[in-house]
Amino acid sequence: MQARRWLCVAAAALLLAAGGCHEKKKPAQDTGSTSGGIQPKDLKLDMSGAPGSKANPLPKAGTMGMTLDQLQKRWNDKAEKHDTQKISIWQRQAIPAFQAWRATTPLGRGVQLEVIGIGKGQVQTARVSAEPLNDHNRKTLFDAWETLRTAITPDISQEQLYKGLDLLSKPTARTRYMTAGGYIWQVNYTALRPAPRARITLTVLRAQPKPDADKPFSMLVTLGRTTTFGSMGSFSVEYSPASRGKTFEEAAQLCDKQGLSLCSDAQWHRACSQLGDMSEFSTWTASFNKDQTKLQARGGENCDSGDAVGAKDKDPKRGALCCTRNVAMTGMGSTAMKGMFTLPVLVLEQAQNHKNWKQLAQSLAPKLGHFYDLTDATRADAIKLAKGNAQEHPDRWSEHLSCDLKGGDRQMHFLLTCREDVFQGDQGMARVVQYGVNQSHIELVQQMKVLRKMGPM
């Protein structure tokens, strides 16, 4: 349940990528001083009577382009000037299934800095919040907001930020967005019980650049549908021109070194449906082509274009698109509901790929009707089999492309029938695996059909 709770935190951050308003005027230079200009008392933070959200959708966003250590250094360089606590210790929680993490540090009086990131250190969002918001922590919150502003966008003035977010006059919405200096700023007010308790948050993300094969590129892909594979939850994408000209195995290893995975074909389609410019350059996917004969590379004319290529093929124009993991889903339930059921499958996938047996144990029920070749197995039996397979095939890894969800034979029991692609060097196989999920635990893993036997790709 702990993993599920932090998954929701990360998923909420990923959902902050959907289009929006742009601040076009040139940023004013800012002295960084709070002795003059806008003061905490000038901010209109009682938004309890305002409408729920701003009509304009949020601009598309990418990752921040910095690590947690770099953000900490920027913060500490500005903290004393703004009478804010320096950062020395982070509380961190990993969300391994989604290759994400969350780090928080207290700033005093119910105010905290929260960072959500992906892979081995890339910051995705940073936010300062106060809960509950009151007269005692208003200045602490304001000072922290000023530290975040000058640490991330030092050329953005107080006036530009707070006027752009409509925080200097009577509130018109409890959620507002603006872009300035290449970054997206969001303010959000959440009423708490009992009234007038409230939580107020200022979040910063980096605005998404136009995809360019010759420049590093990142994006946040929001929950939505693909034209081919069904619905999919949110995930992050990273691309670097240095990834071009590599074999499939080299491309997959490059992503793994970043703490990410080579995108599946379903993920590529979902990302391209959000931003069609991605189709202008070619990238590997961790999926087979329709005939299961070769690997599927994507890019060219549009989101449906691409080539079937061999694993050892090297094209100087083909790169590696690295993703945090997610799985396309069809079947019963809403897009959001289906997205919840990707978690146990992804936890199992990541645990086996990274030989994390504690994580595998957390994903399995105490007793399993099937675990591949085992029948009526215990959790210990399943882990022993997985360890044996890992020793026999230490370089083997897999990705689930898509799953179909339907109800099981009892309450809170569900069946997922999933397409899984398995790789080892330039060898690969494709199969259909069925998972039985009871609440958040897997109690059945059964290979249903082999679509492609293990062999050269």
For residues 8-28, average pLDDT = 38
> Do residue 261 and residue 223 come from a single domain?
yes
Residue 320: pLDDT band (50, 70, 90) is: very high
Distance CA(423)–CA(395), nearest Å, equals 8
Residue 157, domain member (yes or no): yes
Query: Dihedral sign, CA of 5, 201, 148, 66?
Result: positive
Cα dihedral: 387, 388, 389, 391 (round 10): 90
Give percent of the chain with pLDDT exceeding 90. Answer: 71
Coil, strand or helix at 314: coil
For residues 323-340, average pLDDT = 85
Coil, strand or helix at 448: strand
Instruction: Look at the block and give the residue holding tokens 């240095």.
Output: 242
Residue that wins the pLDDT comparison between 9 and 344: 344
Query: Dihedral sign, CA of 351, 353, 354, 357?
Result: positive
CATH of the domain at 362: 3.10.450.50
Q: pLDDT, tens digit, for every residue of 175-190?
A: 999 999 899 999 999 9
Q: pLDDT, tens digit, for every residue of 47-60?
A: 988 998 887 777 88
Q: What is the pLDDT of residue 149?
A: 97
Q: What is the pLDDT of residue 22?
A: 34
Residue 13: pLDDT band (50, 70, 90) is: very low
Q: pLDDT, tens digit, for every residue of 20-39?
A: 333 333 434 444 444 469 99
Q: pLDDT, tens digit, for every residue of 196-210?
A: 889 999 999 999 888
> Do residue 421 and residue 359 come from a single domain?
yes
For residues 336-349, average pLDDT = 84
> Do residue 37 and residue 159 come from a single domain?
yes
For residues 66-83, average pLDDT = 96
Residue 408: pLDDT band (50, 70, 90) is: confident
Residue 45, domain member (yes or no): yes
Domain boundary among 184, 207, 230: 207
Distance CA(419)–CA(105), nearest Å, equals 40
Question: Which residues are CB-contacts of 35 (< 8 A; sequence separation ≥ 6)?
Answer: none
Residue 358, domain member (yes or no): yes
For residues 54-79, average pLDDT = 90
Residue 7: pLDDT above 70?
no
> Do residue 299 and residue 373 come from a single domain?
no
Distance CA(158)–CA(144), nearest Å, equals 13
Distance CA(119)–CA(117), nearest Å, equals 7
Secondary element (H or E) of residue 152: helix 138-152
> Do residue 241 and residue 289 come from a single domain?
yes
Residue that wins the pLDDT comparison between 266 and 3: 266
What's the domain count of the chain?
3
Q: What is the pLDDT of residue 409?
A: 77
> Do residue 200 and residue 88 come from a single domain?
yes
Q: By CB neighbour count within 10 A (0-12 exposed, 13-18 middle, 19+ buried), where does 341 fall?
A: buried
Residue 329, domain member (yes or no): no
Residue 86, domain member (yes or no): yes
Coil, strand or helix at 380: helix
> Do residue 154 and residue 225 come from a single domain?
no
Are 234 and 14 in contact by the 8 Å Cβ rule? The answer is yes
Q: What is the pLDDT of residue 357?
A: 96
Distance CA(195)–CA(132), nearest Å, equals 10
Residue 4: pLDDT above 60?
no
Domain boundary among 154, 181, 207: 207
Lowest mean pLDDT among 83-92, 257-266, 300-309: 300-309
Among 160, 155, 162, residue whose Cα is nearest residue 141: 162
Distance CA(321)–CA(282), nearest Å, equals 9
Among 202, 187, 193, 205, residue whose Cα is nearest residue 50: 187
> Do residue 124 and residue 37 come from a single domain?
yes
Q: Which range of residues forms the domain containing residue 155?
A: 2-207
Q: What is the pLDDT of residue 34?
A: 46
Beta bridge partners of residue 415, listed in sequence order: 406, 436
> Do residue 351 and residue 434 come from a single domain?
yes
Residue 452: pLDDT above 90?
yes
Residue 328, domain member (yes or no): no
For residues 425-448, average pLDDT = 94
Q: What is the pLDDT of residue 333?
A: 78
pTM for this one? 0.85
Among 376, 344, 336, 340, residue whose Cα is nearest residue 360: 344
Residue 331, domain member (yes or no): no
Q: pLDDT, tens digit, for every residue of 229-284?
A: 999 999 999 999 999 999 999 999 999 999 999 999 999 999 999 888 888 889 99
2-14 and 342-353 helices, crossing angle to 10°: 100
Residue 333, domain member (yes or no): no
For residues 357-383, average pLDDT = 95
Residue 225: pLDDT band (50, 70, 90) is: confident
> Do residue 364 and residue 443 come from a single domain?
yes
Are 150 and 30 in contact by the 8 Å Cβ rule? The answer is yes
> Do residue 27 and residue 132 come from a single domain?
yes
> Do residue 55 and residue 126 come from a single domain?
yes
- C-alpha distance from residue 442 to each of 6, 363, 421, 438 (Å): 19, 6, 19, 6
Domain boundary among 146, 174, 207: 207
Residue 14: pLDDT above 70?
no
Side-chain half-sphere exposure of 106, counting CA atoms within 13 A: 5
